[in-house]
Structure 1
Amino acid sequence: MGTLMINPELKSITDRITKRSLETRAAYLAKIEQMRGQGPVRGALSCSNLAHGFAACGEQDKQALKLTESANIGIINAYNDMLSAHQPLESYPALIKQAAHDVGCTAQVAGGVPAMCDGVTQGTAGMELSLFSRDIIAGATAIALSHNMFDGALCLGVCDKIVPGLLIGALSFGHLPVIFAPAGPMTSGLSNKEKAAVRQQFAEGKVGRDELLEAESAAYHGEGTCTFYGTANSNQMLMEVMGIHIPGAAFEPPGTEMRDTLTRAAAERLCKITALGNEYTPLANIVDEKCIVNAIVALLATGGSTNHSIHWIAIARAAGIIIDWQDFSELSAITPLVARVYPNGSADVNHFHAAGGTGYVIRTLLENGLLHEDVQTNWGPGLSRYSQEPQLNQGRLHYVPGVSESADQEVLRPADAPFSTEGGLSLLQGNLGRSVIKVSAVAPEHRFVEAPARVFDDQAELARAFEAGELEQDMIAVVRFQGPAANGMPELHKMTPYLGILQDRGFKVALVTDGRMSGASGKVPAAIHLTPEALVGGGIAKICNGDLLRLDAVKGELQCLVAESEWQHREAATRTSEESESGTGRELFAHMRRAVSDAESGAGVV
């Protein structure tokens, strides 16, 4: 690619993050250096410890583990066969073990982590465990690696909270090399646009449950990740641009020769980059300030999930790096939108992959100075390696230069001729607090809404009001007591069809909530993740029915338009129901609700 210039604003924002993080980053690296000095080498374990660690291994692996001269890979697996995206991971450990043996190393399944599907739990009590599952997964990852039997870790996970949780946990063992191996998307079924239309028809009573289930089954029909560009597929884009995958791994479908080859190659590469070899590449050296900025830029450039305005803050903090929504907003202002994938377009991730995929996105952003090229990756120094395309030659993996032009300009465009000059994620501020809004799928005429508030304490209340015909007017729906401390900050997708119908009927509508909407955030403007949340007396708890609210995504404003004197003296409402305290396992997470940080701090419990 030749010499690549860096956008001066990108450099300035990165420098600011680096300066802000000096103390916390130094403390993290010092901790990792101490762990590196102690080492994961099995030779430091007592004979009893080591014997326990390889008791179930075959004789050949026992001999290798006794000698401690070759790498032993710890596999962290999020497999279950209820999640379509994770079902393919069942066969990965055998592939990885054989690949390790082929290069003279060993591999063991170090542990499993839970993996829940937000698609199954949407609108149910189980959804209130979803966000906290991220930190449970992080802890489970650390438990698996705590045996100190391993020279590197291969993390198997795909979906919403699983990848962030695995990465947070792995960063606590940042002296180890860590590679992530995904499973890939399911083949295309019923288009996301058609699926959304049937959901809206069902909400209006125009079709019945049989037709709705048929449509959903045609959309979600096989193994692999859901094909819309939600949190799971955003995870894969970000793992690629951070250099934590091997190049081209993100969106190859499951069950293909290429997918199996990429998985084996990940294991082989991991064996080469442990401290026992000449290319030692610890995770702590990969996830630095430039890497985090690259991840945010890639998220914004592709119209990715708003969940990552929470998750990547938590990931960054796990590496001693402090970022906030102002950083996201300022990066969004300089990042062009180069992809149109549902819900920001009609294409799915298979179309995105065929049009050029991750390699093309990385190439065009690098060529326009919008990514840091001078970073360390699992494939070696320099991010341009990830613009290459994997190919098979007699069953062996090799790389060729990636496409220089998009195969479909309706799906992917160059950064100097984008769909939009901005990434579409903005910070909103005002007397209600701070929130984020994703506008990449919101038409310009809907980005400013000034209308009376209609206040609800949960999404079921809004649904009942819609069905009773009470919402046929301009309004801003306020759905509160949905923050991390209140009930684990569930996604609120069940409201999307109702608000979309009202917008289609010509009403000016918007949403304000301290909950989440995730990667499915769509055509209705939604101020989400509002902080402080209602449970702790945030401004959202002061809103009354009929208050005039202003949501201005252009100017970054979120205000309740009442007199300042009245606002200051108005008491915050309190929650009328404590239903979220128990049932469906929620009582087990009470300590996490009490300890969780606010959304802009990553909604973590550590």
Structure 2
Amino acid sequence: MTQLHAAIQEVTERIKAKSADGRRDYLERMQAARMQKPQRTHLSCGNLAHGFAACDANHKQALAAESAPNIGIVSAYNDMLSAHQPYADFPPIIKQAADEVGAVAQFAGGTPAMCDGVTQGQPGMELSLFSRDVIALSTAVALTHGMFDAALCLGICDKIVPGLFMGALAFGHLPVIFVPGGPMPSGLPNAEKSRIRQLYAEGKVGRAELLRAESESYHAPGTCTFYGTANSNQMMMEAMGLHLPGAAFVNPNTPLRTALTRAATQRAAEITAQGNDYRPMGEVVDERAIVNAIATLVATGGSTNHTIHLVAMASIAGIRIDWTDIADISRATPLLARVYPNGQADVNHFQAAGGTGFVIGQLLAAGGLHGDVETVIGKGLSAYAREPWLSEGRLDWRDAPAESGDRDVLRPANDPFDSEGGIRLLTGNLGRSIIKVSAVNPQHRVVRAPAAVFDDQDHVLAAFKEGKLHRDAIVVVRGQGPRANGMPELHKLTPALGVLQDLGFKVALVTDGRMSGASGKVPAAIHVSPEAASEGPIGRLREGDIVSLDSEKMTLTAEVPVAEWNARPQWRPDPRKSAFGFGRELFASMRGTATTPEQGAITLLGAA
């Protein structure tokens, strides 16, 4: 076995040390919840009768006789999200596959699934981050009936997989397999989509042409094909051993996709506490699995949103991580993939070039991953360096390619695109923040310029259209943290800032909000903590202050004399601005209790 990289080992041991008490308590709770016999045997007759009232006679008999494992289906299906629309057909497939191995499958419950692509730049986006915790609660409600011996979680997109993950971990004594739906086929090339967006931002094309380009990009059932948060989710589920190997990027409505869904169902039936190969989620997800998730995330240029989500996800299992851990793993992990926005390829091209199996195989060989972990299919991560295929109509696995099919998309660990993954931690008198430099050209990674201060992204765009930002500037958008307005993504700023950069201006973004998982070529110090609503120093910045964003020295500073800086009054956002409309009034308690982004922006009391 390849020796683990020293930095990966060091971070893992650090995480274990600070997680010791929380992890012990979690595992003790999960052990107490484990039952050798199905939990439904402890239900009263009235409880159980309610639990299988809608089943047919055979399934009633199986559940009453305790002879069959019962698999709970938790799905984020809706037919407005392209990624989740294929899930409409999954329950019948799952139920038939369960029947074939003497198991039962019941649809346990649904969770909400909002689309950031629809709400981007709209008031509804202020509910997006908090929807993760709502999904976690919904998953817990689905599984709390005590009817199930294992669960299948059906979800793909941004907050949905983290929410399902968190809710399922609360039932970590159960085996859980995540069942993806796959990406849509490739549409309009990413370079052309970006070109049209920038032309629209400059007023050179109209809405009709923009809508045509967007429709040709997002055009079919399946996940959006850029490498944002949704597809980063899938990479991490592979690395944590919660998928069947290679399940992430198989297109929807194909024979291979159906075969993987069937196989996931039948595997779930095999790994319950009543069998001989018990694999509870709470033991699969340990400190090593979290480190593996971080390593594959940064090796593929994944979404910065996971510097928030992974912290929250790990916390449910009693594991404590922070941005220093993530940044240290990123510095020790080579960048192996260039997928849009870190390149021009999409995830279908990534899959064709070698996909998840190639990445995991390369990292394992380089000592960049813990190989000795538990997964839903067995001991060791090496099985995830394989890929699924249909051999004479039957599902099988073969070794992933040893060589990249396209070195412009995937590189081996001994010849990477970069020696590091690209997620860095910035510190200074403005607080702590995250920057992703993997898509930023080296000449743009250091920016020193006057601050242009805003408290609303629409004000930024208005200033851009009026020509007021056609200069060197660090655009500061404050009042965008979880306690201010739910921490919406500010992705609609990307085209305008990209135009300014292309015009030769030195430009960067500094914000206590989020950028999309699709953030790209403009340097952006995001998640600045503490946020302005918590009296963070970003609230002391004033128009014209010189700000230095240096992602090489990993600093973010306002060049203001200390005495003047300390004497300045603190700006805080008006809480009434995001208090009402689009359901925001219902989320006031979440805004009031959310932890910092580095703590996961979590609103579930006691979880963090």
TM-score under structure 2 normalisation?
0.99
Q: Which amino acid aligns with 2:329?
A: L
**Which residues in structure 2 correspond to 1:412-431 (within 5 Å)?**
412-431=410-429
| C-alpha RMSD of matched pairs (Å) | 0.9
1:95-244 superposed matches below 5 A? 95-244=93-242
Report if the CA contact (8 A) 2:73-2:154 is conserved. yes
Helix, strand or coil at the partner of 1:518: coil
Task: Give yes or no for contact 1:70–1:276 (8 Å, CA) kept in 2.
Answer: no
Structure 2 CA distance, aligned partners of 1:581 and 1:315? 27
Map Cα deviations across residues 439-459 of structure 1 (whole Å, 9 max, x no partner).
000000100000000000010
Query: Which residue pairs with 2:29 in the alignment?
Result: 31
- Within-5 A mapping of 1:567-586: 567-576=565-574, 578-586=576-584
> For the Cα contact (< 8 Å) 2:184–2:220, is it kept in 1?
yes
Superposed, 1:299-314 pairs within 5 Å as: 299-314=297-312
Shift of 1:36: 1.2
Given residue 91 of structure 1, which amino acid in structure 2 is its aligned partner?
Answer: D
Partner amino acid for 2:78? N
Gaps of 5+ in 2: none
8 Å CA contact 1:425–1:437 kept in 2: the answer is yes
User: What secondary structure is seen at the aligned counterpart in 2 of 1:380?
Assistant: coil
Assess if the C-alpha contact under 8 Å between 1:69 and 1:276 holds in 2. no
For the residue of structure 1 that corresponds to 2:517, the secondary structure is: helix
Label 1:39 to 1:126 Cα distance change in 2 as closer, same or farther (>3 A): farther
Contact map agreement 1:447 1:553 (CA 8 A) in 2: yes
- SS of the residue corresponding to residue 547 of structure 2 reads strand
- Note closer, same or farther for the CA distance 1:333–1:441 as it changes in structure 2 (3 Å cut): same
- Segments of structure 1 that go 5 or more residues without pairing to the other structure are none
SS at match of 2:312: helix
| Structure-2 residue corresponding to 1:365 | 363
Partner of 1:488: 486
Give the deviation of 1:210 after TM superposition.
0.5
Would you identify which runs of 4 or more consecutive aligned residues in structure 1 move more than 3 Å?
A: 37-40
The answer for the alignment partner of 2:10 in structure 1 is: 12
| Correspondence 1:293-332 to 2 at 5 A | 293-332=291-330
**Aligned counterpart in structure 2 of residue 61 of structure 1, from 54, 59, 62:** 59
Look up the match of 1:87.
85
1:315-394 pair list within 5 angstroms? 315-394=313-392
Q: Which amino acid aligns with 2:248?
A: A
Deviation readout 1:357-402 (Å, 9 max, x if unpaired): 0000000000000000000000100000101111212322111122
Q: Work out the CA distance in 1 between the residues paired with 2:263 and 2:8.
A: 33
Check whether the contact 2:452–2:475 (CA below 8 A) recurs between aligned residues: yes
Cα pair 2:37 2:274 within 8 Å, conserved: no
* SS of residue in 1 equivalent to 2:585: helix
TM-score (norm: length of structure 1): 0.99
Cα separation, 1, equivalents of 2:329 and 2:309: 17
Letter in 2 for 1:221: H
Measured in 1, the distance between the counterparts of 2:418 and 2:534 equals 37
Q: How does 1:210-289 map to 2 (within 5 A)?
A: 210-289=208-287
Structure-2 residue corresponding to 1:462: 460
Classify 1:190/1:336 alpha carbon distance in 2 versus 1 (closer, same or farther; 3 Å): same
1:590 aligns to 2:588 (yes or no): yes
**1:282 Cα deviation after fit:** 0.1
CA contact (8 A) 2:38 2:274 kept: no
1:171-216 per-residue CA deviation (whole Å, 9 max, x = no partner) reads 0000000000000000000011211110110010000000000000
Q: Which residue of 1 aligns with 2:557?
A: 559
Q: Which residue of 2 aligns with 1:513?
A: 511
Structure-1 residue corresponding to 2:288: 290
In structure 2, C-alpha distance between the alignment counterparts of 1:195 and 1:46, rounded to whole Å: 58
Local SS of the residue matching 2:525: strand
| Matched-pair identity in % | 61
- Could you tell me whether the CA contact under 8 Å between 2:38 and 2:69 is conserved in 1? no
